[in-house]
Amino acid sequence: MVAGLPGTGIGGIFFLLSALLMPVVEFVRTLQGRSNLRRWRFVLRHSGIALGILGAMWATGWLLGQLLFALLRTRISATATAALHPHNVIQAPPLMLTLGVLLAVLLSVGIFRRLFAPRRVPSTA
């Protein structure tokens, strides 16, 4: 068991994307005749979990936005907050940043592979 930090950083996004990609991969397998009902049940379950995670994150962000706005209104006058609206604390820019970091890490792996991976000797058999 890896002593890691599940659910945090780019790891969480990586697994979410991996799970969301599964139906696409399985569809290709189906066209190739390499799938079955059991595999599709598995794929739908775990991509469903991924969608559930995304939905729950959005809902958490929305709820926190509501709570923060309510907190703000207790501290600042109603007039000052009249023009404000509660918003989801999970914003697009930080998410795009995380995605960008993930992409950078994955691209770096590709570069490392080109530079450092042991060369595979082709079989002469």
Is residue 36 a contact residue for another protein (CB under 8 A)? no
Residue 3 lies near another protein (rule: CB under 8 A): yes
Q: 3-state secondary structure string, the chain?
A: CCCCCCCCHHHHHHHHHHHHHHHHHHHHHHHCCCCCHHHHHHHHHHHHHHHHHHHHHHHHHHHHHHHHHHHHHHHCCHHHHCCCCCCCCCCHHHHHHHHHHHHHHHHHHHHHHHHHCCCCCCCCC
Identified binder of another protein from the candidate list 27, 28, 44, 60, rule CB under 8 A? 60
- 33 is a site residue for another protein (CB under 8 A): no
Residue of the chain from 15, 40, 62, 69 that contacts another protein (CB under 8 A)? 15
User: Site for another protein (CB under 8 A): which residue of 12, 30, 35, 88?
Assistant: 12
Residue 121 sits in the site that holds another protein (CB under 8 A): no
Q: 39 vs 23, 27, 93, CA distance in Å? A: 10, 11, 36
Tell me how far, at minimum, the Cβ of 95 lies from another protein, in Å.
12
Instruction: Enumerate binding residues for another protein (CB under 8 A).
Output: 1-12, 14-15, 18-19, 22, 25, 42-43, 46, 49, 52-53, 56-57, 59-61, 64, 68, 89-90, 101-102, 105-106, 108-109, 112-113, 116-118, 120
